Chains A and B, each alone.
Chain A
Amino acid sequence: MTSRRNAYLCMVASILLSTLAQLCMKASMLLIAQGMQQGGELITNLLEPNVLAWLFVGLGSYALSMLFWLFAIVRLELSLAYPMLSLSYVLVYVVAVNWPLLNENVSWIRTLGILVVIFGVILIVRSENHSLAE
């Protein structure tokens, strides 16, 4: 039982890290695009310390999230674990619409979509409890 709980903790770590990775990579690409609009070369913008910092954190958290993912699927069924990764899209959306740097547009249909995804994940997690009870 404890190992299953650890597998779920690994899932949470994997989801959080992949969210962080996507946001950092998006932020670095935005900074590069902004620099190029001001007339800078691609390579000089890429080598800016703050761009490199975002990229480094982004790629590092991506690698770590894959590691935690492996530890999670040792214990969990693939059909149970994989759909949970969609929570990362939910987190990315929540940050993307609230973080001024990304400044993505909010709409009621997108917010409703997020709620539908969360409801889907709840059904997935509950489907495990159901199969344990059988």
Chain B
Amino acid sequence: MSIYLLIALALLFTTSGQLLQKLATSRVVIEAGRPGFLAQIIAFKETYWAIVCLASGMLIWLVVLYHMEVSKATPFLSLGFILVTLVSRHHLGEHIPLSRWLGVVLITLGLWMVSLS
């Protein structure tokens, strides 16, 4: 299997995991008479799928690191910041101001520079 396919899968799983985590926390209702935050969150199926996705993403990432130098692999990982922003916009309906997009691009660029040794 191509290493780039594995990188794409790792990014896909990690991004989905973050989305599912956010969906789980947004179902929590804090009011008198309800169970506490953690008691509610462990009852949602989104939480379990989030754990499955994040764990799969991490495992696939370890396989990637086994075949590729960390400094070459890290820039791909920083693409996750762009993916999570896209998902926040399209699946969570968040408004992304231009300055936030600019911030995300700078973070991705900066992490790419840090990975150059």
> Residues of A at under 8 Å CB distance from B?
69-71, 73-74, 77-80, 82-83, 86, 89, 93, 105, 107, 109-110, 112-124, 126-127, 130-131
Flag if B110 contacts A117 (CB, 8 Å): yes
Q: How far is the CA of A119 from the CA of B96 in the complex (A)?
A: 17
Of A93, A113, A131, the contact of B95 (CB 8 Å cutoff): A131
> Residues of B at under 8 Å CB distance from A?
18-19, 21-22, 25-26, 28, 37, 41, 78, 81, 84-85, 87-89, 92, 94-97, 99-100, 102-107, 109-117
Flag if B103 contacts A78 (CB, 8 Å): no
Of B22, B88, B102, B114, the contact of A113 (CB 8 Å cutoff): B114
Flag if A126 contacts B99 (CB, 8 Å): yes
Flag if A117 contacts B85 (CB, 8 Å): no
29 contacts between A and B (CB under 8 A): A69-B21, A70-B21, A71-B37, A73-B21, A73-B22, A74-B37, A78-B22, A78-B84, A78-B92, A78-B94, A79-B89, A79-B100, A82-B84, A83-B81, A83-B84, A83-B103, A83-B104, A83-B107, A110-B116, A112-B113, A113-B110, A113-B111, A113-B116, A114-B110, A118-B110, A120-B104, A120-B107, A120-B109, A123-B103
